[in-house]
Chain A
Amino acid sequence: MRPRTVIGSPLRILLLTCTFALAAYAGLRLFDGDWFGIALWIVGAALLHDLVLLPLYAAADRALISVAGRERVMYVRVPAALSLLLLLVWFPLIGGQVAARYTAATGLSADGYLARWLLVTAALFGGSALLFVLRRTRRPRWARGTRGLRRATKERPPVVH
């Protein structure tokens, strides 16, 4: 093997050296406080996302496909994903864990968040169910259960042999 392939592009190395220099300059200042806690948060965020959150929702999606079937899975996947997204972003307010501080600081009630999230979740699933029923009844009986598959096949990327 020639040494060039082992080292790689000198320009790429130069660019990444600049990255590490700037990151180190900022990092020295960032880690001035609780350096261990901060490093744990940064590395932990990447690991928690890549090795816990992502496998969890991928496994949940697989389980959903096996229960709902390929044709109907989107009617559950879309409302579930949107609802969980809202929960992921707003869990401190929805879960009520900041309620006391929030109300004391802002003068606003923290009560409605959980109820609103449940209502929005219900609306998302309800709308999805309605759409499912409408699409099913508008289709002739002989075509039921095949259109979704046909369309998916049409849009599937051609297999390269």
Chain B
Amino acid sequence: MARSPFSPAFWRSPVRGPWLTSVLGLVLLGGITLLFVTGLLSYAAYNPDLSPVNDKTPGKGLLGFYLFAWPTDPHWLYRLTQGVHVTLGITLIPVLLAKLWSVVPKLFALPPARSVAHALERISLLLLVGGGLFEFVTGVLNVQLDYLFPGSFYPLHFYGAWIFFAAFAAHAVLKTPAALRNLRQLREEERDELTSPAPDAPTVSRRGALGLVGGGSLLLFATTVGQDFDGLRWTALFAPHGRRDPGTGPGGFQINKTAAYAGIHPAETGEEAWRLVVTGRTGTVRLSRAELLQLPLHSAALPIACVEGWSTSDQWWRGVRLRDLAALVGYDADPPDVFVQSLQRHGSFRRAALRANQVADPRSLLALSVNGADLTPDHGHPARIIVPAAPGVLNTKWVARLTFGDL
């Protein structure tokens, strides 16, 4: 029996081989491509090119080449793209682990390099494996609020994704033709350097092993996806926003950050203390909550959708249209961008910018109530922003100041 992993006979699993690796590789080709695209969309959804306060990676340079004005239609757009990003990422973990297991003999293949090209390819595999694991680990930790990683999540996950994708794209170009050939021939007995030269007696067929991987993915999916639907939330046994809502009644739905966590003091939000300061072309207007309630009120059914991948079903918000507030300060026909400031003293999105197309949408509100009751402190009382299709953190809570005008 070979004792050294550098000897091909050391690897004895009869399940390893080109068929299994090709199936797993093609699943990851589709899955990781979708993860990368939805990840880039999530970055665009923040409108990072609108204002520095929306951009956690201001040094992005050419990596922001594709940015565009994030639309407000369909109103569930971010809920879909980010729900897919996080749920799919979690679902793919068993496939990633199985793929790495299936090719591990290659890590020890000798000679270390057969040519310059081969040497470069092996170095790129460090970026592929290290970068891929880095992306999955930072993502999984971030959705559980476990900020162990060395820095802020946004730059780590964004730049890390580009490093991973650089290696992933080359790997896909080099390996996909062979993977497709392996599957088209549909010969499970095909052999290559992954096939053990001295296999143990099998304990499971290749299809059985693939079934275990698929079962793991199914288990993770089934216990996660419910955190994106109020009616299915009870099925999400392990997802961070699964099982149940934090409260009952009209304001009982999911919360990203509570008022206490954000450092909001009840003394600042009382009827006497709180004033909304609206600034624009014609000057500044100060409004109490009672005065806001005298303005024309409108309704919109919109979800909360978080970058962490959870969301609520549509909630019934009621408040003043942002474009009506813009009209109060001199923007009657041409709603501009708006700079929103919260009472929050800390937190990376206590200030946020919304683009003109978001301000102009009739469903974009400064909400005062939800589901027929006043906002609760945890949902942003006295007033919060709600904009269709925008990421949750741009729906600023405990709004103190709105500054309309080009940013």
Residues of B within 8 A of A38 (CB): 150-151, 156
B219 & A12 in contact (Cβ 8 Å cutoff):
no
A157 & B134 in contact (Cβ 8 Å cutoff):
no
Given contacts A8-B115, A19-B167, A155-B202, contact A30 B378 (CB under 8 A): no
Which A-chain residue is minimally distant from B246 (CB atoms)? A107
The listed residue (A17, A85, A152, A157) touching B216 by CB distance below 8 A is: A85
A82 & B160 in contact (Cβ 8 Å cutoff):
no
The listed residue (A26, A86, A153) touching B163 by CB distance below 8 A is: A26
The listed residue (B114, B144, B160, B244) touching A93 by CB distance below 8 A is: B144
B201 & A70 in contact (Cβ 8 Å cutoff):
yes
A29 & B57 in contact (Cβ 8 Å cutoff):
yes
A29 & B60 in contact (Cβ 8 Å cutoff):
yes
Min distance, Cβ A116 to any Cβ of chain B, angstroms:
5
Residues of B within 8 A of A153 (CB): 202
B146 & A49 in contact (Cβ 8 Å cutoff):
no
B120 & A13 in contact (Cβ 8 Å cutoff):
yes
| Residue A140, interface by CB 8 Å | no
Given contacts A27-B163, A45-B130, contact A86 B117 (CB under 8 A): no
A27-43, CB under 8 A of B: which get 1 and which 0?
A: 10110111001101111
A42 & B130 in contact (Cβ 8 Å cutoff):
yes
Min distance, Cβ B216 to any Cβ of chain A, angstroms:
5
B37-66, CB under 8 A of A: which get 1 and which 0?
A: 000000000000000000001011111000
A6 & B116 in contact (Cβ 8 Å cutoff):
yes
B117 & A8 in contact (Cβ 8 Å cutoff):
yes
Given contacts A107-B258, A157-B17, contact A27 B159 (CB under 8 A): yes
Residues of B within 8 A of A157 (CB): 14, 17, 188-189
The listed residue (B137, B144, B256, B260) touching A90 by CB distance below 8 A is: B144
Residues of B within 8 A of A54 (CB): 100-101, 104
| Residue B303, interface by CB 8 Å | no
A106 & B134 in contact (Cβ 8 Å cutoff):
no
| Residue A25, interface by CB 8 Å | yes
Given contacts A82-B219, A86-B219, contact A19 B150 (CB under 8 A): no
Given contacts A30-B160, A30-B163, A49-B133, contact A12 B174 (CB under 8 A): yes
Interface size in chain A (residues, C-beta < 8 A): 73
Given contacts A106-B241, A106-B256, contact A78 B215 (CB under 8 A): yes
Residues of A within 8 A of B238 (CB): 86, 89-90, 93-94, 113, 116-117
Min distance, Cβ B310 to any Cβ of chain A, angstroms:
10
Residues of B within 8 A of A89 (CB): 90, 93, 140, 220, 238
Which secondary structure dominates chain A's binding surface? Answer: helix
| Residue A67, interface by CB 8 Å | no
The listed residue (B107, B134, B152, B162) touching A26 by CB distance below 8 A is: B162
| Residue A156, interface by CB 8 Å | yes
- Is the interface on chain B under 10, 10 to 19, 20 to 34, or 35 or more residues? 35 or more
Residues of B within 8 A of A58 (CB): 101
A38 to B407, CA, bound (A): 34
Residues of B within 8 A of A74 (CB): 203-204, 208
| Residue B255, interface by CB 8 Å | yes
Min distance, Cβ A22 to any Cβ of chain B, angstroms:
4
A104 & B260 in contact (Cβ 8 Å cutoff):
yes
A92 & B159 in contact (Cβ 8 Å cutoff):
no
B215-255, CB under 8 A of A: which get 1 and which 0?
A: 11001100100000000000001101101101100000011
Given contacts A89-B220, A97-B146, A106-B256, contact A23 B163 (CB under 8 A): yes
Min distance, Cβ A127 to any Cβ of chain B, angstroms:
12
Given contacts A12-B121, A33-B155, A49-B133, contact A120 B173 (CB under 8 A): no
Which residues from 80 to 131 on chain A have a C-beta closer than 8 Å to any C-beta of chain B?
Answer: 81-82, 85-86, 88-90, 92-94, 97-98, 101-102, 104-108, 112-113, 116-117, 120
Min distance, Cβ B60 to any Cβ of chain A, angstroms:
7
B80-95, CB under 8 A of A: which get 1 and which 0?
A: 0000000000100110
A3 to B166, CA, bound (A): 28
A112 to B107, CA, bound (A): 40
A93 to B212, CA, bound (A): 24
The listed residue (A15, A30, A85, A116) touching B173 by CB distance below 8 A is: A15
Show 29 A/B contacts (Cβ-Cβ < 8 Å), sorted by A: A5-B114, A7-B115, A7-B116, A15-B173, A16-B117, A18-B166, A19-B124, A19-B127, A23-B127, A26-B63, A26-B163, A27-B163, A29-B159, A30-B163, A49-B100, A74-B203, A78-B215, A82-B215, A86-B220, A86-B238, A90-B144, A92-B145, A105-B145, A107-B378, A112-B243, A152-B205, A156-B14, A156-B205, A157-B189
Lowest 4 A-B CB distances belong to which pairs? A8-B117, A37-B150, A8-B115, A107-B246
Additional 20 contacts, C-beta under 8 A, given A120-B237, A157-B17: A10-B117, A12-B120, A13-B116, A16-B120, A19-B124, A26-B162, A29-B60, A42-B127, A49-B129, A85-B93, A86-B219, A89-B140, A89-B238, A93-B240, A105-B145, A105-B256, A106-B256, A116-B237, A117-B238, A160-B191
